[in-house]
Structures are given as structure tokens and as C-alpha cells.
Amino acid sequence: METPYTLLDGKEINRQMREEIKAEVEKMVAEGHKSPRLIAVLVGHDGGSETYVHNKMITCEACGIRSETLRFEADITEEELLKEVAKLNADDDLDGFIVQLPLPKHIDAQKVIEAIDPRKDVDGFHPTNVGKLSIGLPGFVSATPFGICELLRRYNISTDGKHVVVLGRSDIVGKPVAQLLLHKDNPGNATVTVCHSHTKDIAFYTRHADVIIAALGQPHFVKADMVKEGAVVIDVGTTRVPDASRAKGFRLCGDVDFDNVAPKCSYITPVPGGVGPMTIIALLHNTLLAARRNRGLEK
């Protein structure tokens, strides 16, 4: 028998969190502090990156966070970019900044990430923040893993004692979300399995999962026969698939075969409108946190 499922509405949670962040920023300013300030560094003209950064900036504006995009052409040298990062590190009026990825091939992205002051690394990509996350110390948690956990928390979905299967072992989603769900926390206390391109028989693991987090970037990878009745399914995929019927010429396609999988689920995220809006709001959460720390309002 089909179970009715609940959509995990990232857009709605994004709206709620926007209001909360806006109220906190207003309070901060009313108490005589400067509003938080964020810069996004955008190198080149990648269509996806342009859209992500634009969405991040307009959401900041809506919450009273001062934000700017610092643009560079794709031929900027690694040395020049590192100098720009050093300038941002030294800007006392700047709470946080991100360098949008991917970067052009001639630039070593890891070198750039490691040049960012961890206290301004609101993306949570610096090894210091990655290390802090792995042992549960306060730092900055990267946006997508934080957004996924916040979505679970706000829908009161407990992962305590549950088997969570993460598909994908990326540094920005798979590994950190696995770490977060291992912590003695809520959400957390899960038994976590991470599957990847070398895992034999992925369906064996997913069929035994209470929660599936699909973050491998392969459209419709997760099929109905891979999912247990009543599972919670979180779809992180956002592959652009050509679609002539859309004004932009493409649509976003998740890693889950939604139409066939959803009827088996207790909860499932849509694409778009699930994890994406949570990722954006998580960056604002981190920027506010950086500002609170810089103003001595939080550790």
C-alpha cells in the first residue's frame, strides 16, 4: 500500500529562517552594532555560479546583511587571487567571505581555501573548520550539510538510532553531513554509511536505510526499488538537464527519481525547492554567527 508522504519544503523553511535572521540583524543594529557584512568572490562567468551568488546576495539584502559580489575575469592569476583573499582577511569591517567554486583550472582551489582566515570562512571549507566539525567544536559548518540538518530539525525528524545512508563522498556535502549525523546531537546519533562510486551494490545499503541523502550528481540515480517503505529521502542533486520547453533552456534534475520514489517515502525533498533554499539560508546563518562572534555577542 502507498504511504502518503510529506514534502520537506525548503522554500518555506528558508522564509521562516529569513524572518528570524532579519529580526536578529535588526536587534543587533538597534543595540548599536554594525550589521553583518559578507562578500562573495566570483571568478569568471559560470552560469550556475552566477545564479547561486545572485540568490545569496538578494537573500542577504532581504535580511539586512550588507553584501557585495567581487568579480574577477577568468584569467586572473592564482597569485592575484591570493592577494585579494589577503585583502579580505585584513578588512576589519568584513565578517565573512566566500570564494565561489568551481574556480578556473589554472587556480588551485585548495590553496585559495587555505588562504582564507578560518574566522571569516563562512563556507566552512577551511581545514580548520572541517577539523572542528569532525570533533564537534564550534566553527563554521558548510552550508549544504547545515541546511540538511536544519531541515530535519525543523520537521522534527529524529535520526537517533537510525541508519542514514549518504550517497557521495564529496568534501562539501557527503563527508561533512556524515560527520554531523554521527555527533551526539539532534539530528545526529545515527549509524551512518557512506556509499560512493567504488561501493559494490549500493542498492543493498539504500534498501536498509531509514534516511537516504543523495549527493552524487547523477540524475534519477535513486529508483523506487532501492528505497524502503517509509524512508526519509533528501535529494541534494541539482544537475542542469537541457529542456527546450523551459525559458532558460534547462531544468534542474535531482539524484532521485521523485515520481516513483515519493509514494514510498514518509518525507522527501523536492528539486528544486528542497535542499537548495536551505543551502542559501545556511550561508546567512553563518554570516550572522561570524558577526555575532566579531561583536563579542557569541563564542
Q: Give the shortest CB-99-to-ligand GUN separation in angstroms.
A: 6
- Centroid of chain to Cα 144: 2
Is 110 one of the catalytic residues? no
**Which residue's CB is nearer to ligand GUN, number 123 or number 210?**
123
Q: Give the shortest CB-42-to-ligand GUN separation in angstroms.
A: 9
Q: Give the shortest CB-284-to-ligand GUN separation in angstroms.
A: 12
- Centroid of chain to Cα 47: 18
**Which residue's CB is nearer to ligand GUN, number 61 or number 171?**
171
For residues 286 and 146, is the Cβ–Cβ distance under 8 A?
A: yes
Is 56 one of the catalytic residues? yes
Identify the bridge partners of residue 66 per DSSP, sorted by sequence position: 37
Q: Give the shortest CB-30-to-ligand GUN separation in angstroms.
A: 31
d(CA 95, CA 286): 10
**Binding stretches for ligand GUN (CB under 6 A):** 98-101, 123, 143
Chain position whose Cβ is nearest to ligand GUN: 101
- Within 10 Å of residue 203's Cβ, how many Cβ atoms? 13
Question: Which is catalytic among the residues 9, 56, 179, 257?
Answer: 56
**Which residue's CB is nearer to ligand GUN, number 123 or number 150?**
123
Q: Give residues with Cβ within 8 angstroms of 233, minimum separation 6.
A: 211, 212, 214, 222, 227, 256, 261, 262, 265, 267, 268, 269
Question: Which is catalytic among the residues 9, 95, 121, 123?
Answer: 123
- Kindly state the greatest CA–CA separation across the chain: 60
Is 100 one of the catalytic residues? yes
Catalytic positions = 56, 100, 123
